[in-house]
Each structure stands twice: as structure tokens, then as C-alpha cells.
Structure 1
Amino acid sequence: MEGIDVIPRPAILARKDASFTIQAGSRAWHDPLFEQQARELVVLLAKASTFELPVKPFIGMPLPASGIIFHVEPDIKPEGYRLDVSSERVLIAASDQAGAFHAVQTIKQLLGPAIDAPASSGRADAWHIPCLSIDDRPRFPWRGFMLDVARHFFEKEIIKQILDVMALLKMNVFHWHLTDDQGWRIEIKRYPRLVEIGSKRGDSQVGGYVSLKRTGIPHEGYYTQDDAREIVAYARERFITVVPEIEFPGHCTAAIAAYPELHCKGKHLAVPATFVTRKGVVCAGKERVYEFIADILDEVLDIFPSKVIHVGGDETSTGTWKHCPDCKALMQREGLHSIHGVQPYFTSRVGKLLSDRGRTLMGWNEVLSSNLPADAIVQFWTGRTRAILPHLTKGRKFVMSPFFTVYLDHDHVLLPLDMVYNFDPVPKNVSIEQQGNVLGIEAPLWTEWVRTTRRLHWQLFPRLLAVAEAAWTPPNAKDYPSFKERLARFIPWLQERGINPASLDKVERCKLRKPLSFLHLFFEPRIPETR
């Protein structure tokens, strides 16, 4: 609808004539549950205005007839809200604080990017919100983004910048890929060599997976436990859950470089400079490995309150297990008739470590097996979507991240904006009950070729906005032409935050072209690297 430039698009929206004016003399009212959200809106307005609104609770009295009013309505679904704007008042109704927070994000967008402008650019004497009615709620409870900081490390201020945009877009899960072959990025006090050795590599591959070129520059970095807690708190204030990923049993070269005894043969491996490696697999037959993982989880769970903990589980090579005496003894002891039974056993052991500590395991496709804990969540990334149908019927929960549809490390040629926007994570011919087992969408960004903040922004934006709308807005309210118009007017929001997205002209020209598009899977896309 013209003039209503909200992303993601609300489920139900009706425009009215006139507008509500916020100015000196206006005031904000709140139910006690929503005091925090009311004050956040007032502070936001005060920074960009020549006035400051008084904030008052209302208890045991009728709804005020004028002003900005935060009101509890228990019947509204979790994270949802209703926004009714007349010329006399702005009524914000929700059943929980997350819903009230999302309503504030909508109001921010209705006010326009000037609301976030620095004070040096001037203060306004009044703000205008168009009169309208919005009845809004998320389609999915999981609206996520994953950042790989193992391949390339990004400072916490960059992560906060992304969390700010996610909050504005009503996204609620930040999946933090903290460990991989090329780097271990989280401090574990019981095992200091994980960051002393595992967070550093001597060089980095450039040009693509088949390239022999290197940067010639060492790469390192890690987050202290206090850094991680700071990010968790920052996200929590924005109603975003941080889900950490600690990879096992594969993608563990950095951990093995620090502690070689984790390897079947006790090999001394270096943290690799290249981005294709299958050597980093921990031994599944050594009890010491499970003790090591338990120790790590104890520290990780103390940092991250998320109910869900991601343990990776993808792309595990079984080569070393085949010839390992400890793994052979494990197979005989546990009655595993094939080497392919070792990873399910490993995953079930890690799953029990988590369940004993009150947490839920999450992993990539490869963790799927008959003995996977019933409450475990699977992140679908490879294969045909219909492959999950038998598991949906049995109640298995999925988060959808298909490789060719939402992997934001792809070039804009291979993954154009409209393909991301039009993605529907629910397979066809699925019952209403089974649809509930699709928790939502998560867009990963793997950073093999993402060395700078400029490149990070280029890969993420504007496609992350399409992910947000695909995850929030019901199918009958989605409209790609409308999205493009709203997106063009949203760009100043990003630029105000120091983010320069891929140009819309380029994005529109990037349509999937076969077979040349698949070359982008092997060669580093040529994207400007300057900051």
C-alpha cells in the first residue's frame, strides 16, 4: 500500500485518512508489562526531537483517549501485535513483550529513517504516523540468520550492527557458527589452546575452492566469554535468541590442531589455509573425546541460555574411523554393523549430554537417524525438500535452509533476490498439523570468501530483507512488486547504519542462468572488497 513502507509486510493492513502527530504535549501510556517498550520508543523519539514525551503507567483505569498507548490483550498470539492509529491516539496491543517490541519496529519504519539519524542532522518539532490498522503476527516462530565467524572473524561491533537490522526486520534467531576447520572462535577456559592455537592460521585461500592463490596474511581472532555474554545480552534486548554452533564430529581441524589426542591417530594437524578439508574428524571411539565435549558444553551452556544448542554434524568423513582400533572396538561393543552407524551413535551421545543439562540438540541434515533424540531439531540444507516428509509425519521439527535458496554466500547471479523472496519452506501436500513441524527459515552466510565488512554487507543486503519477509508474512499477503518498492525506500535505513547493500540495479539483472551460474560454487565471486 502506497506510503506504508514496512518490511516485513504486515499480515493485515488497512490505511485510513489523516495522520497522528507526535509533538510537545503528547504523552505515552503503558500497561506495566510494556514499560520497557514504551520507554524505548520515547527515548528513540527524544534523540531525534526537540521535545521528550512523559511516560506513565495506567492501572485499573479505562484506556486513555489520546497519546501513545501500550496495552495488553491476552488473546493476541505470541510475538504478534495490533496497531491502531487514529488522529487522536496510537494504540499498541500485544500479549507479550516481544509483540510490543515488534510493534515499535513497525512504528520506527512508519516514522522513516530520519528517526535514526544522528542529532547533528537536526531535531524535529513533530512526527507524523499515517492513520491505519495493522493486525500482525509471524508466520513462523524461527526467523533466523547464521553467520560463520570461523572462516573469517568479525568483531563484535559488526555483529551488533547485524542484530540491529535483524531486530528492525523482526527476525528472532542469530545462529552463531563459532567453530570449524579454519578457526575456533570462542574462549574455553578449561582448554586454553583452543584459542591460543585454534583461533589462528598462517594464511587464507583466495579465488575459489580450486585456487592456489593465498592472501599471504595470517588470520586470527576469537571472542572471550565476556564478549559472547555481551552479544547474548545485546540480542536478548532485541528479542533475538543466540544459538551457538560448536561443530562435532567433523569440521574439527582447529580443535585437533590444539589437542591432537582428539584425532583417531593423534595426528598433529595445522589450522588449514584452504577451505576444502575433510581431515578434521574427532575419534568416535575414545571416551576422552566425549569428556572433552562435555567440558566444552558446560562452559558454552553457561554463556548461552538458548534452549537449543547446534552441534553441526555435517560433512563428516568416516575414513579415519574405518581404520581406527578404538572406533572398531566401539562398533563391536555397541553392535554397529556398519561404519555408517558410528555418527548416529556419536550424535546420540552428544544429545544425551545436552538433554541431561536441559537443552535440545540441533544439527544439519546428516544427524538424521532412527536414534536421534525425539526433540532434536534438524536444519535442512541439502537434498530435495520432499525428503523431509516422512520425518514431518513422525513429528520431527525442521528449520529450512536449502542450499540453492537461502545460502547468502552465493553470488547474486546464482541466488537472485526474487528467488529468496519467493521461497516457501513448507513442502506441498503437507497437512496443517505437519506444517507446524516446519519451525521456519534460516539463511546462512558462510564466509570463506567474505574477508571484509564491505563484502559482508554486499552478500547480506538486500537479500536478508527478503528472508525476513518470507519468514514473517503469510503467503496471501506477500507481493514481490510491492516488496521491491518498499525495499527501494528502505535502503536509507541501511545507509544510515553504515551499510552499503548490493545495488538494486545489479540485483534485478541477476537472474539464474544455467549452466554458467554453477561456476560461482567453485570460484570466488568478483565483488568489490573496499570498505
Structure 2
Amino acid sequence: MRKTGIKYLLGIVAGAFALLCGSTSFAGNTILPYPNQVEWKEGTCRIEKRLSVYCDEVFKYETKKEMDALKKEAGVAYRFSNREQADFRVLFSKDIAKEGYTLDITGSGISIQASAPAGVFYAVQTLKQLLQKEQAAYRFPCVEIADSPAFPWRGFLLDEARNFQGKKEVKKLLDEMAMLKMNVFHWHLTDDQGWRIEIKKYPRLTEVGGRRDSTQLNWYESTVYDKKPVSGYYTQKDIREIVAYAAERHITIVPEIEFPGHASAAIAAYPWLGCSKKEIPVSCAYGVFSSVFDIADSRTQQFVRDVLDEVAALFPSDIIHIGGDEVKYDEWQNSENIKRLMEKEKVDSPAGLQIWFANRLSSYLKKKGKKMMGWNDITGDKLHAYHPENATQSRLDADNTIVQFWLGTPEILEKALRRNLKIVNSYCDYTYLNYNYDKIVPGLEYAHKPIPMEKAYNFYPVPEGWEDRRDLILGVTCAMWGEWINRPDIMYKMVYPQVAAYAEVGWTERRNKEFGRFTDALEFFKRRWTSAGYIR
């Protein structure tokens, strides 16, 4: 794990050096996301290729990792010394927030203070953007920074159920998230079009559910398919490797396993999971389908617990996402098993049954030390035309549940807040990276209305008038949904450079944001992403 972290830092430090090589001037607007307290000073700090380094014991690993990277990639020799002699100090301070840091650059040296390794890591991300290489030394502008994130949740969602991207691409995304100080990787691993995570007790989930015969082209109403088989999944060994890779970058991976809808791939593998008990294929089309789990069947209930057991053991995150979105109730309404369950549990409607199911999952996960997260469909509010008005009087338990708001009116979000539900705001009209199809994917000019960069940048996760309950808003997640994204280069065009706007939404306080400064700072990352081949 440590070697992995060092390799990562070698790459990104080298990238920063390469991009800034030969620079002799500095503009104070190059940091992204922008720190929340900055005071620029006169002068620069010039450091020769011999550094004396001191760090408090708690930061020994993080500091050595950084220094080893500098030595190997940039020839910066270093030695650890005592505090008085060091010109690069990494110090512990209990008064700084967990992810916060201070960075003080003077003419005589650099000092970082933090209360946790994440703070040191984020300080270094800032430092890299300030570095300028000279012929025989490195130069930094003098500055005092006291920084911590606006929100604790700064997320990026990758949907690999629709189109599998693979371990290499995931690691690339994690690298860029780390540079942008984003800290939650929301991994959408199951859906109608594919099941991408190995579950040892149910091998057919990947053997059957991880494959499909073809893929729909153009758009949801299209009858054109490419007739090319699609497959791919992550073994549990792969999962552990990626989880460790993310942890080195102070990123938590939150897995999403869809229950009770978007279930075609699972039911194709085990038909008894569905209400009809009939064989169905893994879906080759995109959209919302009627196949749902038969949650009245004791075998299905055990299946769900078994899957959650294996997933919980793989991911250290204290949160597991259970999806819960876009559930069509047709099969439930036609199922005698479901009707009997609803009568037994005194549930008033299919929407109420979904809340009952979500509450059971939340209780089960709580016993395992995990919180449940789901899309805001799990609140029972009407979001879709295929759902009735005022569907249920049932209430979602707020105690162990996080709701990810993606669709609906501000009133629906406010209702959830009044129930003291914790929220991650991913409102689709502001945060969905895939809404930019019309400019990127040929043939989809009539798709979603694109989200301009400035609109994305100006998104604020806290609804108007709710600033006094900001504690309920954990933060933001931008979403890279995978329909139509069958090649990495298409994904890159969707993600970059737009993802940088969401990084600043999550990190920089609203009062400190300025779009003009952001676009100037974005040039550093545009050069980086052009060099990596992500943008042109």
C-alpha cells in the first residue's frame, strides 16, 4: 500500500514540475479549489535541491512519502533534521479541522500544520500548484493559507454497471480527484445492464449478470443495437486493491448496489429473485424497466443480506448505497406474495412498501456499523409520472439514513430536511456530467440540456433559507452516468474540465468563490489534462 502511494505521488509531482518548468512569474489565482483564507505576501521562497525536513511523529509516513517522491522525480535530495534547522516543517496542531491545514511560505522556508494526515495531503496539493521550477532550484510565492473544506462530502460518481471502464481508468479518476481535494468516490456497480462486483456466494451474478449480448445505440427510443457483447467485473481482490489505492489519496469509496429496482442483471442470473420467477436477459437497452426484486420472498431477503455482508466486508466506508431509484411498481401490484406482505406489515401502498424495505436495510446495516444511503426516491415522494400522487403515509427512518437528492422540486428537498434527514445534493440539472451529450457524443444532439461550466460552478448544495440547518447538508456529488459511454475517451470529454467546478463547489465557501478567478486557475489543470490526453 505504501509503495502504491509513493508511485502515485511521483506521477503527480512530476506532472506539476513538467507543467511549470521554466516559469518565472506567478499569478496569485492559480490554486484550485481556492483556499478559504489566503494572504499573499511579497517575495518568494527559493529552495535548493537539498532540503532539511522536520515532521512531527504522527506525520512521519505522509511526509516521507512526499519527500521520496520529490527526490526520485525532481532530484530533490533531503534529510530529516531537527525542527530548528529544517526549512520544510510538517507540524501537528490539534486546533485545525480534520481535513484542514495551514500553509505558510516565507523567504526562509515552508511550514505545514494539520491535525490529520488528510490535511497534510491537501496542503501538498496546494503546494504543487504554487511550485515553479528554476534552473537550479524551486521557487514558491510567499503566502499564508488557512484552509479547510466548506463541505465534508465532495464526491464523484462513476457508473460502471452500464459500461465497464476497468481498474486502470478508475485509478486515473482517483488521481485527479485527489488533486482536486475530492474525497468520496461513489461507485455504481450494479444495474439492469450489468453486475460488476464479485459476490462469492452468488457467482452467477458476474458469470451471467456481468455480460450482455449487445448495446442500444443513439437514444432511449432507438431500435438500433451494436451487436457487440459487453462484459467485465471486479473481483474481490480488485476491489481491495482499488479501495487501498483510494485510501492512499484520502478518498473513501462508497459502493452502490441497487435494491429493489434496476435489477435485471441480478434476476437474469437468478430468476427466483424476481416477482415472476421467469428467466429474463441482462438488459441491452437503457431506461427504466419493470423487473424488481421480490422482497416478499424469504430467499430474496436472504440474498440481499448475503450481498450486503460481502460488500460491507470489502469496503471500509461506514456508508453503503442501496440505490432505490426509479422503481416501477407494476410487478409488485400484480404479485400475491407482495400483497400478502403488505397486508402483514400494514403497508398502505407500493411506495410505502419500498420505504418499509429501505428501513429494514438501514436497520440491518446499522447492526454492521454502517449507514444506509439511497436516492431520494426512497422518501416516498412522487418523482416520476409512473407513480401515483401522495403515494404513502410511511416515513423513512432518519436515524441511520442518508438521502441523495437528485430529482424533484425544492419543496421535496426541504421536506426531507424538515424530517432531519441528512442530504448529499446531486440535483441532476446542475451536477450530471452526462448531460453534456449534445456537444460530445455524435447523434445525441437532442439529449439533455447541457450544463454550462458557470452553472455547474455556481451550484450551491444548501437550499435557499436553510443555511441555519447546513449541518444536514453533507455536500455534493457530481455524477458520470454510463449510458452511451462505451469508450474512455468519451468519458474524459464529459468529466474534464467540468469536474473542477464541482471540486470548488465542495471545497470553497460560497463567499470566496469567483468564476473569473476559477477559470484562470483552471489553466493549470487544463495543461495537466491535455498532457494526459484527457482533453485537447
Give the TM-score taking structure 1 as reference length: 0.89
Structure 1 residue 242 and structure 2 residue 253: aligned? yes
Query: How high is the sequence identity, in percent, across the aligned residues?
Result: 39
Letter in 1 for 2:423: F
Aligned to 1:353: 364
Distance 1:233 1:205, change over 3 A: same
Q: Secondary structure at the match of 2:222?
A: coil
Instruction: Work out whether 1:414 is the aligned partner of 2:440.
Output: no
Partner of 1:320: 331
- Code of the aligned partner of 1:490: F
* Partner-residue secondary structure (3-state), 2:41: strand
Q: Residue 534 of structure 2 aligns to which amino acid in structure 1?
A: N
State whether structure 2 residue 202 is matched by structure 1 residue 185.
no
Pairwise CA distance, 1:22: 2.4
| Residue of 430, 434, 437 corresponding to 2:472 | 437
What's the CA shift string for 1:470-511, capped at 9, x where partnerless?
Answer: 110011110101111111232122234x2423x6xxxxxxxx
- 8 Å contact from structure 2 (residues 90, 112) kept in 1: yes
Alpha-carbon distance between aligned partners in 1 of 2:427 and 2:127, rounded to the nearest angstrom? 33
CA separation in 2, counterparts of 1:337 and 1:3? Answer: 60
State how far apart, in whole Å, the 2-side matches of 1:462 and 1:69 are.
33
Would the aligned equivalents of 2:52 and 2:87 in 1 still touch at CA under 8 Å?
A: yes
Map of 1:376 onto structure 2: 401
- Opposite residue 400 of structure 2, the aligned amino acid is D
Q: In structure 1, what is the equivalent of residue 347 of structure 2?
A: 336
Query: What is the CA–CA distance in structure 1 between the aligned matches of 2:130 and 2:410, rounded to whole Å?
Result: 37
Cα displacement string for residues 412-468 of structure 1 (whole angstroms, at most 9, x for unaligned residues): 661111110000010111142x11100000001111111111111100011100000
Q: Which residue, out of 500, 503, 508, partners 2:534?
A: 500
User: Could you say which residue in structure 1 is the equivalent of 2:180?
Assistant: 169
Q: Aligned partner of 1:39: which letter?
A: K
Larger CA deviation: 383-392 vs 299-308 = 383-392
Q: 1:212 aligns with which of 197, 205, 223?
A: 223
SS of residue paired to 2:344: helix
Q: Name the CA distance, whole Å, in 2 between partners of 1:484 and 1:25.
A: 35
- Which SS does the other structure have where 1:244 is aligned? strand
Q: Deviations 1:148-182 (Å, cap 9, x if unpaired)?
A: 00000011011001001100110000000000000
CA–CA separation in structure 2 for the residues paired with 1:493 and 1:43: 22
Amino acid at match of 2:452: P
SS in 2 for 1:366: helix
- The aligned counterpart of 1:158 is 169
Residue number among 157, 168, 171 corresponding to 1:146 in the alignment: 157
User: How far apart in 2 are the matches of 1:280 and 1:98?
Assistant: 43
Q: Which region of structure 1 is more displaced relative to structure 2, 322-331 or 176-185? A: 322-331
Q: Distance in 2 between matches of 1:284 and 1:379?
A: 23
Q: Is the 2:102–2:113 Cα contact (8 Å) retained in structure 1?
A: yes
Shift of 1:4: 4.1
Question: How far 1:19 moved relative to its partner?
Answer: 1.5
Question: Which is worse superposed, 366-375 or 196-205?
Answer: 366-375
Instruction: Kindly indicate whether the alpha-carbon contact (under 8 Å) linking 1:65 and 1:89 is maintained by their aligned counterparts in 2.
Output: no
Question: In 1, Cα distance between the equivalents of 2:483 and 2:375?
Answer: 19
Q: Distance in 1 between matches of 2:504 and 2:267?
A: 40
Aligned to 2:312: 301
How many angstroms does 1:248 deviate by?
A: 0.4
1:265 has 2:276 as partner: yes
Are the counterparts in 2 of residues 49 and 126 from structure 1 also a CA contact under 8 Å?
Answer: no
* In structure 1, C-alpha distance between the alignment counterparts of 2:377 and 2:397, rounded to whole Å: 11
| 1:89 shift after superposition | 1.1
Give the Cα–Cα distance (whole angstroms) in 2 for the partners of residues 177 and 55 of structure 1.
43
The equivalent residue for 1:392 is 417
Shifted more, 337-346 versus 254-263: the winner is: 337-346
The Cα shift of 1:387 comes to 2.2
Aligned-partner residue type, residue 127 of structure 2: I
The alpha carbon displacement at 1:400 in A equals 0.3
Query: What SS does the corresponding residue of 2:456 show, helix, strand or coil?
Result: helix
Aligned 8 A contact 1:84 1:90 in 2 = yes
CA distance in 1, matches of 2:396, 2:230: 39
Question: 1:320 and 1:241 mapped to 2: Cα distance?
Answer: 36
Q: Which residue of 2 aligns with 1:426?
A: 462
Pairwise CA distance, 1:353: 1.7
Letter paired with 1:100: V
In 2, Cα distance between equivalents of 1:211 and 1:247: 25
Distance in 1, Cα, partners of 2:291 & 2:397: 23
Equivalent residue, structure 1, for 2:88: 68
Contact 1:37 1:104 survives alignment (8 Å): no
Structure 1 counterpart SS, 2:423: strand
2:56 paired residue among 23, 31, 48: 31
Deviates more, 1:218-227 or 1:394-403: 394-403
Name the aligned partner's letter for residue 176 of structure 2.
Answer: V
Q: Give deviations 1:251-290, integer Å, cap 9, x for gaps.
A: 0100000000001110211001110141320112112111
Structure 1 counterpart SS, 2:174: helix
Secondary structure of the residue aligned to 1:79 is: coil
In the alignment, is the contact (CA less than 8 A) between 1:205 and 1:211 conserved in 2?
yes
* TM superposition shift of 1:204: 0.5
SS in 2 for 1:248: coil
Spell out the pairing of 1:475-486 with structure 2 (5 A cutoff).
475-486=510-521
Closer/same/farther in 2, CA of residues 125 and 42 from structure 1, 3 Å limit:
farther
Length-normalised TM-score, structure 2:
0.88
Instruction: State the partner residue of 1:252.
Output: 263
> For residues 174 and 35 of structure 1, what CA distance do their matches in structure 2 show?
26
Work out the CA distance in 2 between the residues paired with 1:277 and 1:422.
Answer: 31
Q: Cα distance 1:208–1:342, how it changes in 2: closer, same or farther (>3 A)?
A: same
Matched, 1:50 2:85: no
Alignment partner of 2:129: what SS?
helix
What is the aligned length? 486
Per the alignment, in what secondary structure is the counterpart of residue 239 of structure 1? coil
Q: Which amino acid aligns with 2:217?
A: V
The separation in 1 between residues aligned to 2:138 and 2:69, in whole angstroms, is: 12
Q: Name whichever of 284-293 and 43-52 sits farther off.
A: 43-52
Distance apart, 1:21 and its partner CA = 2.1
SS in 1 for 2:246: helix
Deviates more, 1:83-92 or 1:30-39: 30-39
Query: Which deviations, in whole Å up to 9, do the C-alpha atoms of 1:367-386 show, x marking residues without a partner?
Result: 11513342200000001234
List per-residue Cα deviations over 1:112-167 (Å, max 9, x = no partner): 6x8xxxxxxxx964211111111111000000000000000011011001001100
Instruction: Measure, in 1, the Cα distance between the counterparts of 2:471 and 2:171.
Output: 31
Counterparts of residues 444-483 of structure 1 (less than 5 Å) = 444-483=479-518
Deviations 1:176-199 (A, max 9, x none): 000000000000010000000000
Distance in 2 of aligned mates of 1:234 and 1:459: 24
Instruction: State the distance in 1 between where 2:367 and 2:451 align.
Output: 41
Q: What is the CA–CA distance in structure 1 between the aligned matches of 2:239 and 2:339, rounded to whole Å?
A: 39
Q: 1:7·1:469 contact (CA, 8 Å) conserved in 2?
A: yes
Partners of 1:217 and 1:125 in 2: CA distance: 55
Q: Secondary structure at the match of 1:436?
A: helix
Structure 1 unpaired stretches of 5+: 115-122, 504-531
